[in-house]
Amino acid sequence: MRRTFAYLRTGFSGLNINGINELTARHVSSVCWNCQKPGKNMICGDCGSLQDVDNNTNYFELLNFPTKFELQASELTQRFRQLQARVHPDKYSNKTTREQTNSADWSSLINKAYKTLAAPVERGQYMLQLEGEQMPQDNSALNTAFLMAMMERNEEVEEADDSKALDQLYAQIVQELADKANKLTAQFETNDLAAVKQTLVEMKYLLSIQNSIKKKQQQLMSNVA
C-alpha cells in the first residue's frame, strides 16, 4: 500500500469542401508562393496552389470550432475527414514538389489537431496552453481523499482475479471521466483555470487506472488460454 500511495503522489507525467479556404484563411501566408498574388487561403484562389503550413495554427479554428471545451465528437470527426480528404497527399502526387510537401504537412497538422481535440484531457491541456498556462509539475494540491480512492482502486486492479469485477470497475471509471469532462466545460466557461488543472490531473489518474484495467484483463485472458 505504501508503494502504491507513493506512486500516486508522484503523478503521471458543419464544414464543406468549398469552405476550407475561408476556414484556414488566417493561418497561411498573405502572398501565394507560386503566383505571388495576395490572399490568405489554404489554396490560392488564383492559381490553385496548395499553400505552406503555419504550425502556429489554432486547432479549433483549423477544424472550424469555437475555442470552447465542449464540442460534438461526431461533428469533429466529420470535419476532420472532410478537411483531410481535401489535402490528402494522394491528391497531390502529380503536383509540384512544394505542393507535395505542403500536402503532407497539412495532413500531419490536421491529424494532430484532431487527435488533440478528440481526447478530453489533451483538449483541456491544449486550451490551457492557449491561455499561456501549464499543468502543475506535481500533484501535491490534490485532495487526499481522492488520492486514497485512487490507491484503493489501483489495489483492486492488482488483486482482481476475474474479468467481471474489472468490467464493473472499468464502467465506473468511464462514468467518472464523463462527469469530470462536464465539470471542465463549466470550469473553462468561468475561466477557473486552477480548478481546470486539478480536474485534468484527476482525469489523468483515472485514465491510468483505466489502462491498468485493460492490461489486467489481457493478463487474465492469457492465463485462461
Look up residue 37 and give its three cell numbers: 498574388
Grouping H, G, I as helix, E, B as strand and the rest as coil, residue 100 is helix
Largest pairwise CA distance in the chain? 68
Tens of pLDDT, residue by residue over 67-107, are: 999 999 999 999 999 999 999 999 999 999 999 999 999 99
Q: What are phi and psi of 96, to 5 degrees?
A: -65, 160
pLDDT score at 224? 67
Q: What are phi and psi of 149, to 5 degrees?
A: -65, -40
Q: Is the pLDDT of residue 167 over 50?
A: yes
Higher pLDDT, 145 or 225: 145
The position carrying cell 489486467 is 216
- In order of their start, the domains of the chain are 17-118 (1.10.287.110), 138-224 (1.20.1280.20)
User: What's the CA gap between 202 and 130, in Å, rounded?
Assistant: 21
- Give the global pTM: 0.84
Question: C-alpha angle with apex 120: 114 to 121, nearest 5 degrees?
Answer: 110
pLDDT score at 154? 92
Q: Is the pLDDT of residue 1 over 60?
A: no
The string of DSSP letters for 23-41 reads HTGGGS-SB-TTT--B---
